[in-house]
Amino acid sequence: MPKQDFSTSTQPDMCVDLNGLTLKNPITVASGTYGFGREYAEWIDLNILSAISVKGLTLEPREGNEGRRIVETPMGMLNSVGLQNPGVHYFIENEIPFLRSYDLKIIANINGNTIEEYCQMAELLSDADVDSIELNISCPNVKNGGLAFGTNPAVVQDVVKRVRKASKKHLIVKLSPNVTDIKEIARIVEAEGADCISLINTLSGMGIDIYKRKPFLKRGNGGLSGPAVKPIAVRMVYDVHSAVKIPILGMGGISTGEDAVEFMLAGASAIAIGTANFANPLAPKKVLEGLTQYLKQYHYDAAKKLTGDLRI
């Protein structure tokens, strides 16, 4: 690629639109990695973010899994936290007012053991001051033998259809990567009324302590995230971008501006930073600066023009 001119002082338009959810820039943070924002507010100006997808919410408070829940890997981490959270009612009453003191959009990530629980939360949040609902369909469906909602196309269709009917909010559906054909699931989600798709969620993984001859995590397996999953995530974003017309919020191993560019070229309209936040609380600032520099270097006058602009 020819050398480009850095001298331009023109700032690119960073605004992007996730099908009705307008973001001031493409940088968000992923659910489960940023709490409710309070944990990072002393380290970074939250106003840098365009949106925060809050810690995964359940209908009632949850203590999470027992025993060891986090394991570092050479290129990321395994987690089995188990959706520890104070419950959707506490979030509405106590966390939304805090987040509203910042210039960012609030995305409420919801998780249920049954479709009925998903719908109850969607109804509650429809009357709450949130900007979007992120439907996490990687949860175990207790009425379907414990398999994740997002791995069965018929169940995906049912849960998205019913949540869409239960809520008038902007709806993002977060896809599980642990499926045979991610494009099939994405098409179903789009057909049932999702406004946007987020992907990828964590990959199923495992680590074993060879000296104790036991898994590191008490529950055995956990969710793998971090740089190790990035090539898989980029490929899935690319595949889904070719299969649907609704926008994509891409995530999976993003820690630099170059990573963000890669996801957007593959088809993401915005990106979410996850595991990188644990290593560097200033990661969102670093990613935004790197993305902006790239846009200026290669003469993009708007961030949205980067989406899908892959030369094949």
Q: For residue 269, give every residue at least 6 positions away whose Cβ sits within 8 Å of its Cβ, in sequence order, or none.
A: 16, 17, 18, 26, 196, 247, 248, 249, 304, 307
The active-site residue, picked from 15, 119, 139, 196, is 139
Give yes or no: 139 in active site.
yes
Phi, psi of 158 (to 5 degrees): -65, -50
Distance of CA 97 to the CA centre of its chain: 22
Contact of 2 with 299, CB cutoff 8 Å: no
Active site residues per annotation: 139
